[in-house]
């Protein structure tokens, strides 16, 4: 056995013990402790009171809207994010860097500013809202407006996750498939899509998680009507404004548990996809 294998590799950062300890400390401080406080506060509520708030008709309607619009926005972002990443990687055109910078704009733009801009654009008296209203389509102050806002904030996650994977594949992969007689559709479906599927699924999961907790850009365009266009994060704020901290934590814990379950399912699909590709 080589001596080099018995020696620890030189590293710029300190050893594993110190870096791992610092990692656990930061994760505990930033993630574990706050979430534990929420669970402990919700656990102090009587079961009847917890269910009365967390499973009330108003809360269930808010859950349906939040999870439904987040899933729809993530699905649309998966399609259009892949198309955007494909254009940025495969084509060289004037203004390409500007388009790439615009993709990152939702990362830097305050969500409240995005909400105001979208509301002004899609309101019945807005530039696009007025034209759509003539066709009987209303976006602002409806659940459809929530989807539009969530698409805006979630698109960069898919683009930036898929883009480096597409760049690593290179056009020669498509050329090799074409040399073997595959059509463009066959090359994409049998060669490219399986290679980028884990990254695409990761981007979709990130977009879904981002959309699920979005608040600032949604409250301006949603209309915030109970049982119709009220999202779960807003309902938590309403409970806090009424000084009902227990009710707010009950709704928050319900959202957390549902989110954890969905993300666990998505991670399981990612692992299954990687194993299937390795096999």
220, part of any domain:
yes
35, part of any domain:
no
- Say if residues 166 and 85 touch (Cβ distance below 8 Å): yes
134, part of any domain:
yes
Give the domain range for residue 122.
48-278
Q: How many CB atoms lie within 10 A of CB 149?
A: 30
- Of the candidates 109, 43, 78, the one whose C-alpha atom is nearest the C-alpha of residue 246 is 43
The predicted structure's pLDDT at residue 42:
84
43, part of any domain:
no
The domain that contains 84 carries what CATH number? 1.10.3720.10
The predicted structure's pLDDT at residue 277:
66
Please state the domain count of the chain. 1
12, part of any domain:
no
Sign (positive/negative) of CA torsion 214, 219, 220, 222? positive
The predicted structure's pLDDT at residue 208:
92
> CA-based Rg of the chain, rounded to a whole angstrom?
23
Q: Which two tokens stand for residue 203?
A: 């981007």
70, part of any domain:
yes
The predicted structure's pLDDT at residue 169:
83
262, part of any domain:
yes
The predicted structure's pLDDT at residue 66:
93
Q: What are the residue ranges in the chain where pLDDT is below 50?
A: 1-7
The predicted structure's pLDDT at residue 1:
46
1, part of any domain:
no
């Amino acid at each position: 056995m080589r001596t080099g294998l018995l020696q620890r590799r030189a590293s710029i950062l300190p050893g594993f013990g110190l870096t791992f300890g610092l990692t656990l400390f930061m994760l505990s401080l930033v993630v574990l402790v706050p979430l534990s406080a929420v669970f402990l506060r919700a656990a102090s509520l009587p079961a009847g009171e917890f269910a009365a708030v967390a499973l009330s008709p108003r809360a269930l309607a808010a859950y349906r809207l939040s999870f439904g619009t987040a899933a729809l926005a993530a699905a649309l972002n998966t399609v259009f994010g892949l198309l955007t990443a494909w254009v940025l990687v495969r084509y060289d055109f004037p203004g390409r860097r500007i388009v790439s910078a615009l993709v990152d704009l939702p990362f830097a733009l305050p969500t409240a500013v995005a909400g105001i801009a979208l509301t002004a654009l899609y309101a019945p008296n807005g530039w696009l809202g007025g034209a759509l209203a003539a066709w009987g389509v209303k976006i602002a102050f409806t659940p459809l407006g929530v989807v539009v806002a969530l698409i805006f904030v979630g698109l960069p996650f898919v683009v930036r996750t898929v883009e480096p994977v597409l760049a690593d594949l290179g056009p020669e992969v498509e050329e090799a498939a074409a040399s073997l007689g595959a059509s463009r559709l066959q090359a994409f479906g049998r060669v490219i899509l399986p290679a980028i599927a884990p990254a695409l699924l990761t981007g979709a999961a990130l977009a879904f998680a981002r959309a699920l907790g979005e608040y600032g850009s949604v409250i301006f365009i949603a209309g915030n009507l109970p049982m119709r266009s009220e999202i779960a994060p807003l309902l938590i704020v309403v409970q806090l404004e009424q000084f009902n901290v227990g009710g707010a934590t009950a709704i928050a814990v319900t959202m957390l548990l549902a989110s954890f379950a969905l993300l666990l399912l998505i991670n399981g699909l990612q692992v299954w996809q990687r194993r299937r590709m390795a096999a």
